[in-house]
């Protein structure tokens, strides 16, 4: 709170005139970033996989523009109305595709887990560059699969990795 107040040119106590506590400030930051996301579900004409992918891409784009907020979205996902609207749209697409009850719960949580985790990995600890180099330098006799996979990872774009993982998840959900 002190850092934020200093950045705004006010005292810490003055900041509390606008927000109750740090949690409220963080939620407002999450809302500010996520309100750029178009949460409207694509029309019912397309396949549900494609419609979910559109919603996921929108969320990823907003998060990529502000990677510092990624951890806050996890902590405040149940209190951010904008984030909840995104989930509501995803649930609507899933319901139209025939998902119900526990199946819809698992599908939403699986999608959220993948999207949040993949965005965190992409923004906060990408394996490309230094991460991949360090893994390729491991002793191949002790880490044969890691070193081989790290070499292969250099050829996979961030979009290829993200969308490929999403496609795998969506296919699995549809099975």
Digits of tens for pLDDT over the chain (175 positions)? Answer: 888 888 888 888 888 888 888 888 888 889 999 999 999 999 888 899 999 999 999 999 988 888 888 888 888 888 888 889 999 999 999 999 999 999 999 999 999 999 888 888 887 665 555 567 788 889 999 999 999 988 888 888 888 889 999 999 999 998 6
The sign of the dihedral angle between the CA atoms of 169, 91, 109, 56 is positive
| 8, burial (CB in 10 Å: exposed 0-12, middle 13-18, buried 19+) | exposed
pTM for the predicted model, two decimal places: 0.82
pLDDT at 98: 95
Q: Of the candidates 76, 111, 78, which has an alpha carbon nearest to the alpha carbon of residue 93?
A: 111
């Amino acid at each position: 709170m002190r850092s934020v107040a200093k950045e705004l040119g006010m005292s810490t106590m003055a900041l509390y005139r606008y927000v109750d506590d740090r949690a409220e400030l963080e939620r407002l930051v999450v809302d500010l970033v996520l309100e750029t996301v178009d949460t409207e579900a694509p029309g019912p004409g397309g396949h549900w996989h494609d419609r979910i992918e559109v919603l996921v891409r929108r969320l990823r784009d907003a998060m990529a523009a502000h990677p510092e907020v990624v951890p806050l979205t996890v902590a405040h996902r149940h209190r951010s109305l904008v984030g909840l609207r995104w989930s509501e749209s995803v649930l609507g697409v899933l319901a139209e595709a025939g998902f119900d009850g526990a199946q819809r719960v698992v599908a939403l949580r699986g999608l959220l887990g993948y999207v949040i985790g993949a965005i965190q990995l992409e923004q906060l600890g990408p394996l490309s560059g230094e991460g991949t180099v360090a893994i390729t330098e491991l002793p191949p006799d002790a880490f044969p699969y890691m070193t081989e996979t790290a070499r292969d990872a250099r050829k996979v774009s961030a979009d290829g990795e993200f969308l490929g993982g999403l496609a795998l998840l969506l296919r699995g959900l549809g099975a």
